[in-house]
Amino acid sequence: MKKIIIATIIILNFFNMNAQTTFEGLKHHSEQPYLTLNNGVRMPQFGLGLYMIAEGDEAYNAVLTALNAGYRHFDCAHAYRNERSLGRALKDSGVPRDSVWVTSKLWPNEYGEGKTLQAIDRMLNRLGLEYIDLVYFHQPVGDYVGGWKEMEQAMASGKVRAIGISNFDVSDSIFDSLIKNAKIKPQIMQIECHPYAQRRHWQERCAAEGIQLECWFPLGGRDSKGEILRDPVINRIAKAHGKSPAQIIIRWHMQEGFSVIPGASNPDYIRENIEVMDFALSNVEMAAIRALDAEKRYFVMSYEDQVRWFSQWNPTD
Ligand SMILES: NC(=O)c1ccc[n+]([C@@H]2O[C@H](COP(=O)([O-])OP(=O)(O)OC[C@H]3O[C@@H](n4cnc5c(N)ncnc54)[C@H](OP(=O)(O)O)[C@@H]3O)[C@@H](O)[C@H]2O)c1
């Protein structure tokens, strides 16, 4: 009898453990806002950034923690070298593929006719997926005009649902050279953008072209050492709402209409950052944060250095 009771407890505990990983976060998912891109595809506005999160346990656990908290959008890149962990965690989670948005980025050595389609196939392989929701050109270096033709083909074939450009804010002429030669305009541009560098010029240029803006370093990034999180205006607003400074900044991004992908490996931060759907900033608070704009970038490498460094280093498969 004792043995039967112990066996029953073990079995019940097993199901309880599984219950914890059954994605009760879905309730958040249904509450999350979506953005409609210029090709009609709908993208969750909020997601998890995976830059500087190590391949293996760290990235795998971050993705599972995020899925469990209700995240349905992940921002990855070949250069982050953690696509395999993202794909593995997605598969193991059992969350339906079509309810998750997966972004990854190609590196400059993968741009060009005869190169980009093959690079997308290798990316699909690393991720273990049959299609990718969004593929970016990570840097405006190399043959991005030739490669864009194959990005367009990848979208037509259904392997990719949206195509975007990242860091094409280095100059108007670089941005224009891609746009002018594109048959299909990018759906989205990903650039550094946060309360201290709000990038109004690029907000206007993207709006004029029908391109969605997505913000990297949304909290200032690791190099900012939490400078924006300590800002007195942000902290005053945080106190008024009983929210953290990070939650106020994320909510500001969302009310501005940006897509936002805060990066975190700390599970408490991951869970905290998605708790931004249950309050709103007033017009006065939005204006107070807009007034913090100082065009203060935390990534300051010149374009010449970007060309030099980004052509020298290539991520392995
Ligand atoms: N296209 C590009 O060239 C490019 C460049 C940079 C980034 N990105 C993308 O954008 C994403 C976001 O940028 P990012 O991750 O570099 O910078 P970020 O999101 O601005 O900041 C990440 C840092 O903030 C910390 N953090 C997160 N949530 C916090 C919270 N609630 N309270 C206090 N600290 C918190 C994280 O800590 P822990 O790590 O300790 O959890 C990490 O140190 C990246 O992950 C990546 O997907 C793209």
DSSP label of 210:
T
Q: How many domains does the chain have?
A: 1
User: What is the residue-level pLDDT of the chain in tens, covering all 317 positions?
Assistant: 444 434 433 333 333 333 233 334 434 444 789 999 999 999 999 999 999 999 999 999 999 999 999 999 999 999 999 999 999 999 999 999 999 999 999 999 999 999 999 999 999 999 999 999 999 999 999 999 999 999 999 999 999 999 999 999 999 999 999 999 999 999 999 999 999 999 999 999 999 999 999 999 999 999 999 999 999 999 999 999 999 999 999 999 999 999 999 999 999 999 999 999 999 999 999 999 999 999 999 999 999 999 999 999 999 98
Whole-structure pTM over 0.85, yes or no? yes
Phi-psi sector, 142: left (phi>0), alpha (psi -120 to 50), beta: left
Q: Is 219 exposed, middle or buried (0-12, 13-18, 19+ CB in 10 A)?
A: buried
Residue 19 is assigned to a structural domain of this protein: no
Residue 288 is assigned to a structural domain of this protein: yes
Q: How far apart are the C-alpha atoms of 205 and 298, rounded to whole Å?
A: 22
Q: How far apart are the C-alpha atoms of 217 and 106, rounded to whole Å?
A: 19
Residue 16 is assigned to a structural domain of this protein: no
Q: Would you please indicate which residues are annotated as catalytic (active-site) residues?
A: 80
Query: Is 68's C-beta closer than 6 angstroms to any atom of ligand 1?
Result: no
Residue 274 is assigned to a structural domain of this protein: yes
CA distances from 86 to 63, 98, 212, 233 (A): 6, 15, 24, 36
Query: Is 259's C-beta closer than 6 angstroms to any atom of ligand 1?
Result: no
Residue 1 is assigned to a structural domain of this protein: no
Q: What is the pLDDT of residue 20?
A: 31
Residue 63's domain spans which residues?
A: 34-312
Residue 216 is assigned to a structural domain of this protein: yes
Q: How far apart are the C-alpha atoms of 288 and 249, rounded to whole Å?
A: 12
CA distances from 317 to 75, 82, 97, 117, 287 (A): 18, 11, 23, 15, 45
Q: What is the pLDDT of residue 306?
A: 96
Please state, as a whole number, how many other Cβ atoms lie within 10 Å of the Cβ of residue 201: 11
Q: Are 65 and 274 in contact (CB under 8 A)?
A: no
- The residue whose C-alpha atom lies closest to atom 38 belonging to ligand 1 is 264
Residue 120 is assigned to a structural domain of this protein: yes
Ligand 1 pocket mutation, candidates 105, 196, 217, 297, criterion most atoms within 8 A of CB: 217
Q: Are 143 and 116 in contact (CB under 8 A)?
A: no
Beta bridge partners of 105: 136
Query: Is 75's C-beta closer than 6 angstroms to any atom of ligand 1?
Result: yes
Residue 212 is assigned to a structural domain of this protein: yes
SS3 81: coil
Q: How far apart are the C-alpha atoms of 111 and 141, rounded to whole Å?
A: 9
Please tell me the distance between residue 18's alpha carbon and the centre of ligand 1 in angstroms. 30
Q: What is the pLDDT of residue 14?
A: 32
Q: How far apart are the C-alpha atoms of 100 and 91, rounded to whole Å?
A: 11
* CATH number of the domain residue 177 falls in: 3.20.20.100
